[in-house]
Amino acid sequence: MCMCLEQEFVELYADFLLNKSVEKQFSAFRRGFQMVTNESPLQTLFHPSEIELLVCGSTVRLFVPVCWNLAVMHAVIAS
């Protein structure tokens, strides 16, 4: 197999894995998301990065002890 065919195979396989194999599910997600956000104040109330955080979640990893300490502090303050 020549190098150009290997490169083409890798590109086509990556396209399949990352795009074509999830196209149906992503299209359904997009339609549902647009139903919620079209003509919605979400676009004017939130910056795109905030909407991304809402949909995708945070990339910051919290360790269990940190979360536990926050929960305990919250319980102490609330009581």
pLDDT, tens digit, for every residue of 31-54?
988 887 787 777 788 888 888 888
| Residue 71: half-sphere exposure toward Cβ, Cα within 13 Å | 7
DSSP 8-class letter at 62? P
Which tens digit of pLDDT belongs to each residue from 11-21? 999 999 999 99
Who contacts 51 (Cβ-Cβ below 8 Å, separation ≥6)?
A: 37, 42
pTM here is 0.46
The domains of the chain are located at: 3-78
